Structure 1
Amino acid sequence: MNTEEFWAIIESSRRVVNPERADGNSRRQAEELWKQLSRLSPEEIVEFGAHFQDKMDVAYHWDLWGAAYLVAGGCSDDGFTDFRSWLISMGRRVFEDAVSNAESLLRVVDSPGVEDVFFEEFRYVPARAYEALTGRDFPAHEGAGPTAPAGEEWSEQELAHRFPAFWARHQRE
């Protein structure tokens, strides 16, 4: 599986998202991803999982954590993992734009149909599909991911300066 195929599956899983609804979209998207992965071979599911983890690693960046912190009014380590899972679930364009400029998410987080910016379940779908297909545990991802976020660490006092658009949104709430 290549990167294009990975993103095509993610994009296809989004087809069930209903912008007219503010609830249930995450569940429906996770179910759709499971259906799509269940049609693949075990090897392809493992490859999908590897691409997913690679994207999680790419998104392990202080700027994205700052955006998540301001959007949610705080963001723990676990919360940031779930935020990165959500970011991947939003598709290639949103993901790549956010990696380039975290404040690009300002136009996404309040979009119709976005019920939450934390999507823990989405990252578990490849393992669930693999285990259902094979009866075996999902193989661990090879290679160590980053041990710390990339980029420049921030403090709460710096958020207004580092992320002015998100800060303005945060202050309105």
Structure 2
Amino acid sequence: MDKQTFWQLINQSRQQEEPEEWLLEVLSSKGEDAAVGFEYMVRSLMQKSYMSSLWGAAYVLMDGCSDDTFDYFRGWLIAQGEEVFNKVLQNHEYLAEYISEENLDEEGYPQNEELLTVGLDTLTVMRTGDIDWDDDVWAAMDDALQKLGLVESHRIELDWEEEDLPERFPRLWKRFGEDPLPLDLDEE
């Protein structure tokens, strides 16, 4: 799957009531290569966005950010589309103007865990008939991704301390430092 096709699918999914279910159906109709290609693109973008500075920005937004939360945040960022993804990678402070109630999850957070498994879930449904975890499907996906050249790094060294964040991200700190996410959706 090329970048253009991937981002078109992401943009189309944003118009759907259940974006991840829609993606699963579309990818299933295109075959196993589409599922693997989608997974490759998601993992590549996750790797590209695995940045200490972006983790610091997410930390400011939510007054803390665990490993898993950072993954879900980056899933959310990918789901916002190519333009927003690239803008945020180039300037994390763009999040201060971009984040609104309309683009957060139901709890008021910038998180999307489901997008991270769409490719694998699609391949699982295609091979087993359901979405339940299957070790053989995971191994097949892993093999296919390695053949495509995916190399994942799981180590990051943070180049910030919590007390440095207000100065490092002044716009984010002004908006979220004293009032971090989740947004109180009842007040908005």
- For normalisation by structure 1, the TM-score amounts to 0.86
RMSD, aligned α-carbons: 1.8
Is the Cα–Cα contact under 8 Å of residues 60 and 177 in structure 2 kept in the other structure?
A: no
Shift of 1:108: 2.3
Structure 2 equivalent of residue 159 of structure 1 = 165
Q: Does 1:146 align with 2:153?
A: yes
Structure 1: gaps (5+ residues): 18-27
Q: In structure 2, what is the equivalent of residue 133 of structure 1?
A: 126
How far did 1:114 drift? 2.2
Partners of 2:99 and 2:152 in 1: CA distance: 27
For residues 23 and 38 of structure 2, what CA distance do their matches in structure 1 show? 11
Aligned positions, number = 162
**CA–CA distance in structure 1, aligned partners of residues 63 and 20 of structure 2:** 25
Quote the residue 1:81 is aligned against.
71
Deviation at 1:166, TM superposition (A): 0.7
* Equivalent-residue separation in structure 2 for 1:52 and 1:171 (angstroms): 30
| Structure 2: unaligned runs, 5 residues or longer | 129-135, 180-188
Alpha-carbon separation, structure 1, partners of 2:177 and 2:42: 33
Q: Give the distance between the partners of 1:5 and 1:111, measured in 2 at CA.
A: 28
User: What is the CA distance between 1:144 and its match in structure 2?
Assistant: 3.0
Q: Does 1:98 align with 2:88?
A: yes
Q: 2-side partners of 1:45 and 1:56: how far apart?
A: 16
Mapped contact 2:57–2:172 kept (Cα < 8 A)? yes
Task: Encode CA deviations 1:52-73: one digit per residue, 9 max, x unaligned.
Answer: 1100000001121111111111
Greater Rg, structure 1 or structure 2?
2
Residue identity over aligned pairs, in percent, reads 30
Is the 8 Å Cα contact of residues 42 and 134 (structure 1) preserved in structure 2? no
CA distance, structure 1, for counterparts of residue 76 and residue 83 of structure 2 = 13
